[in-house]
Structure 1
Amino acid sequence: MLDRPQPVPASLPMLRTLPAALDPAVHPLHKARALVTQLEAAGVEPARALAGVGLQARDLDNVAARMSIRQLIGVFRNAHALVDDPLFALRGGLQCHLPMLGYFGLLLLTSANWKQLMTCFEKHRQHSTPVLGVNVSVSDAHCVMTYFDAHDLEPELFSFILDFHLGMALTYQRDLYGEGFQLAGVRLSRARPRHAAEIVELYGAPVRFGAARDEILWDRRWVGEPMRMADPLTAQALEEICGQLCEQIAAGSGVAGVVTRMLEEARHDFPGIDEVAARMHVTSRTLRRWLLAEGASYAGILDTVRARMAIRYLRATRMKTDEIARVLGFGATASFRTAFRRWTGRQPSDFRPRSRGRGDVPRIGQPVRDAAEAISDRLQLENQQG
């Protein structure tokens, strides 16, 4: 019998990730491209798959193109209407491998262990264009991944999208652990369909229909298994890239995007949440509630902005660590170092050019040399005058 999820020890984190806001066109087209490619193999022309969505077939091969969650749901809705095969979505998801998710997928693929994998999943899932919400928990015997609808989708469309994502989840686990990975079970809230035996065969595991939740389970022993393509240096580089890409998504999305831009524009004299709320003509309580609805918080956004600025100052300027700490609003350098380790898992010195004599560290993203050097010069002048 499959066990009920129990609270998990701190070393095996639980997480809950929400889908993104519906309308900002800030997400890469990875999933849309995979779905349209599979529809094309089934005889559906890309133009029909994208009809009424606001995307063109040429966008699918444009690495700079972006779409909204609503547009991706539109592609799923078209696919659901255009194919008669009730197993199309599940089979399609099973054909998707982690590299399909771009940098985010490669980051997961090169993670060292379960804990790092879950940390990356929670921090950067927005880069995967998430349509459904996900809970992950661990019991004494099983890992449990539960999917839920946070966009009030039509039940049949939700089931179609869910099948695609469950198929992807199974293939992703096999990418991580090898073809020997097997599910312990699947629970689906829908009634038992006529093709239930084929569903069981595709999952290779017992399937319970009419369940309270939609979820997949696998043996907890896999948590201790090494990731077969772990690569710490590659994961470290991809972590930075994914962080910056997710910041771009956040900067263009919802209330969190507005707050992010306000803090970025402040550069060093960061306004508190009360001041930010006043600028938006709402109370701080209302602003907190809005951010919570988007799965964000003022403290988390401030951390993200500070972390990005700190890395850029370290790489692009000759500012000392205590100067960077002062610019970012820390009362003590030790507090900045502690926060920096929490943000990145590394020391500030690791981000300096020619760190440890290994040659120049390449900079990723937009340079901030002019602004940073100006701040450094001002601090040096203040020190001389003092």
Structure 2
Amino acid sequence: MPAIYLHILAELLHSLGVDDQGLLLRVGLDPSRLNSAELRVSQAQASEFVTRAIIESGEPGLGILMAREMKLPLHGNLGTAVMSSRKLADSLALLTRFLTLRAPHLRIEKRLANDEAHFRVSCDVDLGPLQGFIMDAVLFGCAFMGSQLTGTPIAGARILRRGPEPHYFPRFRKSIPVPVQFDAMEDALVIPRASLDLSVRFSDDQLAAASRAQCEEALQRLTENAGFACRVRRVIETSHPFPPKLARVAATLFVSERTLKRRLQEEDASFQNLVDDVRLERAGELLTRTRMNLSQVADALGYADAANFTRAFKRWTGSSPSQYRSDAQKAAADLARSRATA
């Protein structure tokens, strides 16, 4: 799951009086790493966080509250592509093709029935307690998204939900812009076929084409990075404390330490190399985007002291951390000057 969604959920929990930072740390997530459109969090950690969030907030309708918070730009390139489309039909076609970028394991299937279009949402695997939360967030999020795109609730649209009406739903009914029908045969967004021709008020052909191309690239990368090593790296990237122990990562992925090592070896990878890759990436961010001194950077990366960090950084890059920071600052200054004189 994209880390940004857990960041938004954490902010929502904070508004409800829950210690969101403490909760993230208890499930092994680094709060400072979640406000990113690029990083992803393992399903196991996301599920544990959502489960604890519902318990500690006492709010079973967190998925609906999340749906309210999900403004289109928060969905990254997919959100940009959707909101810059010409017609509502174009936006829904993008959502159908690229939903997996934002909600792994979910898919949308379009079916035409009489004068309506059914967009059925289904899940490939059992996500446990995360599934109900995600279905609430996605389906009710689609209702709010329609209002964002067209400027008004879509007349005649409705949401179908499988199963009985949850006990908490009446509190939210009036806030959802379309009717909701429970005990249905499918989880779906239903829209009158005529409404598919509604214009999107943020339409921008050039931006739509560029963002769609970025979505295609991201989908290809997601397919290529479906291996076990990628799953391990995602846990490492968002772990607190950093670097995580191999045992902690193995437990998060529900495998033994021996199995984790074996499966990484099968992909010509190793746990330590993955940790070092993430360390190098983080080191570059800390050296170029913060004013932390070398001792602080070393501590953030899990080194005993600045000397050990410096040796490792030279081994990775051939340059000292101080020289790397100096070169980056000079490059940024040169770029700023060239833009100012352009």
State TM-score, norm by structure 2. Answer: 0.59
Q: How big is the alpha-carbon RMSD for the aligned residues of Structure 1 and Structure 2?
A: 2.7
Letter in 2 for 1:223: L
Say if 1:187 and 1:209, in contact at 8 Å, map to a contact too. Answer: yes
Pair 158,58 (structure 1): closer, same or farther in 2 beyond 3 Å = same
Residue 63 of structure 2 corresponds to residue 89 of structure 1: yes
How far apart, in 1, do the equivalents of 2:28 and 2:93 lie? 34
1:71 aligns with 2:71: no
Question: 2:210 & 2:204 partners in 1: Cα distance?
Answer: 10
Identity %: 20
1:268-289, Cα deviation, whole Å (9 max, x unpaired): xxxxxxxxxxxxxxxxxxxxxx
User: CA 1:162–1:49 in structure 2 vs 1: closer, same or farther (change >3 Å)?
Assistant: farther
The alpha-carbon deviation at position 92 of structure 1 amounts to: 2.1
Q: Secondary structure at the match of 2:34?
A: helix
Partners of 1:65 and 1:157 in 2: CA distance: 19
Distance 2:19 2:105 in 1: 23
Letter in 2 for 1:248: R
> Unpaired segments of 5 or more residues in structure 2?
231-342
Report if aligned partners of 1:142, 1:218 keep a CA contact under 8 Å in 2. Answer: yes
* Aligned 1:93-132 pairs, distance under 5 A: 93-132=67-106
- Displacement of 1:128 after TM fit? 1.4
Residue in 2 that maps onto 1:336: none
How many angstroms apart in 1 are the aligned matches of 2:38 and 2:136?
28
* 1:215 counterpart = 2:173: no
Spell out the pairing of 1:1-386 with structure 2 (5 A cutoff): 28-51=2-25, 53-154=27-128, 157-182=130-155, 184-254=157-227
Deviation, structure 1 residue 114: 4.1
Q: Distance in 2 between matches of 1:64 and 1:149?
A: 23
Q: Deviations over 1:33-85 (max 9, x none)?
A: 22222112112223344255442100122455332344333332232222212
Higher helix share: 2
Distance in 2, Cα, partners of 1:200 & 1:116? 28
Pair 1:145–1:51, CA change in 2 (3 A): farther
Q: Give the aligned residue type for 1:249.
A: L
Code of the aligned partner of 1:153: L
CA contact (8 A) 2:96 2:107 kept: no
Distance in 1 (CA, whole Å) between partners of 2:214 and 2:204 is 15
Alignment TM-score, normalising by the size of structure 1? 0.53
Which shows bigger deviation, 99-108 or 122-131? 122-131
- What's the offset of the Cα at 1:171? 1.4
How many angstroms apart in 2 are the aligned matches of 1:108 and 1:94? 17
Confirm or deny: 8 A CA contact 1:177 1:227 kept in the other structure.
yes
- 1:335-355: per-residue Cα shift (whole Å, max 9, x none)? xxxxxxxxxxxxxxxxxxxxx
What displacement does 1:205 show?
3.8
Alpha carbons of 1:145 and 1:199: their partners in 2 closer, same or farther (altered >3 Å)? farther
- Given that residues 6 and 34 in structure 2 are in contact (C-alpha distance below 8 angstroms), is that contact kept between their aligned partners in structure 1? yes
Counterpart for residue 256 of structure 2: none
Q: Which whole-Å CA distance do the structure 2 matches of 1:167 and 1:32 have between them?
A: 18
Q: CA 1:206/1:119 → structure 2, altered by over 3 Å: closer, same or farther?
A: closer
Aligned equivalents of 1:201 and 1:44: distance in 2? 25
Q: Corresponding residue for 2:311?
A: none
Task: Answer whether contact 1:133 1:148 (CA < 8 A) is retained.
Answer: yes
Give distance in 2, aligned partners of 1:141 and 1:49.
47
1:174 counterpart letter in structure 2: S
Offset of 1:254 from its aligned partner? 3.8
Residue 141 to residue 203, structure 1, CA distance change in 2 (3 Å): farther
SS at 2:59 equivalent = coil
Residues 86-129 of structure 1, C-alpha deviations (whole Å, 9 max, x = no match): 33321221221111111111111101224533443344333214
The CA deviation string for residues 182-225 of structure 1, in whole angstroms up to 9 with x for no partner, is 46333222323444433432324443322222223222221011
Segment of structure 1 superposing worse, 68-77 or 98-107: 68-77
C-alpha distance after superposition, 1:325-374 (max 9, x if no partner): xxxxxxxxxxxxxxxxxxxxxxxxxxxxxxxxxxxxxxxxxxxxxxxxxx
Unaligned 5+ runs, structure 1: 1-26, 258-386
Q: Structure 1 pair 102/217, CA: closer, same or farther in 2 (3 Å)?
A: same
What amino acid sits opposite 2:225 in the alignment? G
Bigger drift between 89-98 and 211-220 goes to 211-220
Q: 1:120 to 1:160 in 2, by over 3 A?
A: closer
- The residue type paired with residue 150 of structure 1 is D
Do 2:157 and 2:192's aligned partners in 1 also have CA atoms closer than 8 Å?
yes
